[in-house]
């Protein structure tokens, strides 16, 4: 699929609501077509969405424009969505790979740090070392995925927000997403920095040397690890809020937001 299909700025006018020829909605459509703002660039499906899933206009348009109306949060509804409405396949792969890794890294990070060193009871140096190595390597993979994700966002863009979102939802989701973007860089970078400074070498999956060229006092590294932990906790809280919101969109609002990212 050509990259242009995901860019906000190149959505062809032919995909816009103004191209839909429906006499029933002529008046409404004219109103909409004269709005110069983001609606002009809105995807075709938004014409249905922005009147609410159950409004008469939505129902009339849906029944005329498509053979059958399917709510956005169904497989059929998803199929009816334009490609420009959903996240691209690479973006979704990166999103879910990152999510799976983060969901694993936080408990493993807490657990591995809690395994005692010998000669304390319960010590298990082999397990501890192995978990540290996996944690560091997969943590660096999160960082690599974050770089790929931003490169993708900059070059291909992401779909515009679903038009039915309220102002609060729009601001809250933008704030959460931006903070998550910052944290998927900051959390692994801090772990990488502290480990390189005080407990190197850092090797990606026991092989590729990736130690950063910095050194420091143990007290500095302990401080950085504290921030590493604190930011990881903040990220976990945000992920809970993010998942809660995603599920609300799936179960309560049924507005297609969840389906845009679902594999």
By CB under 6 A, name the binding residues for ligand HEM.
95, 98-99, 102-103, 105-106, 109-110, 113, 132, 135-136, 139-140, 142, 153, 158, 173, 177, 180-181, 184, 187-188, 191-192, 195, 202, 225, 228-229, 232, 239, 242-243, 246, 257-258, 260-261
Nearer to ligand HEM, 25 or 253 (CB): 253
Question: Shortest gap between Cβ of 56 and ligand HEM (angstroms)?
Answer: 26
Nearer to ligand HEM, 7 or 95 (CB): 95
Q: Which residues contact 240 (CB under 8 A, 6 or more apart)?
A: none
CA distance readout (Å), 192 to 19, 131, 199, 207, 232: 52, 15, 10, 16, 13
Question: Shortest gap between Cβ of 125 and ligand HEM (angstroms)?
Answer: 13
Question: Shortest gap between Cβ of 60 and ligand HEM (angstroms)?
Answer: 26
What value does the CA radius of gyration of the chain take, rounded to a whole number of Å? 23
The encoded tokens of residue 63 equal: 């029944």
DSSP 8-class letter at 22 = -
Question: Shortest gap between Cβ of 39 and ligand HEM (angstroms)?
Answer: 17
Instruction: Give Cα 231 to chain centroid, integer Å.
Output: 18
Q: Is the CB of residue 229 less than 8 Å from the CB of residue 160?
A: no
Nearer to ligand HEM, 60 or 261 (CB): 261
């Amino acid at each position: 699929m050509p990259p242009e299909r995901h860019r906000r700025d190149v959505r062809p006018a032919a995909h816009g609501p103004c191209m839909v020829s429906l006499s029933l909605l002529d008046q409404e459509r004219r109103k909409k077509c004269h709005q110069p703002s983001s609606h002009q660039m809105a995807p075709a499906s938004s014409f249905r969405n922005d009147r609410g899933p159950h409004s008469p206009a939505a129902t009339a348009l849906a029944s005329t424009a498509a053979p059958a109306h399917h709510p956005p949060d169904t497989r059929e509804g998803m199929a009816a969505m334009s490609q420009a409405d959903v996240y691209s396949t690479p973006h979704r792969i990166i999103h879910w790979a990152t999510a799976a890794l983060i969901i694993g890294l936080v408990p493993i990070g807490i657990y591995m740090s809690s395994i005692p060193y010998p000669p304390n009871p319960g010590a298990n140096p082999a397990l501890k070392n192995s978990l540290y190595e996996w944690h560091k390597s997969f943590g660096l993979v999160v960082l690599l995925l974050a770089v790929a994700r931003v490169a993708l966002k900059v070059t291909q863009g992401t779909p515009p927000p679903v038009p039915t979102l309220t102002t609060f939802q729009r601001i809250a989701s933008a704030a959460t997403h931006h903070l998550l973007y910052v944290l998927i860089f900051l959390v692994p970078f801090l772990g990488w920095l502290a480990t390189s400074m005080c407990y190197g070498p850092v090797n990606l999956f026991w092989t590729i040397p990736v130690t950063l060229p910095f050194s420091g006092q143990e007290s500095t590294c302990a401080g950085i690890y504290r921030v590493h932990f604190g930011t990881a906790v903040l990220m976990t809280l945000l992920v809970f809020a993010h998942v809660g919101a995603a599920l609300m969109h799936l179960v309560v609002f049924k507005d297609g937001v969840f389906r845009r990212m679902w594999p």
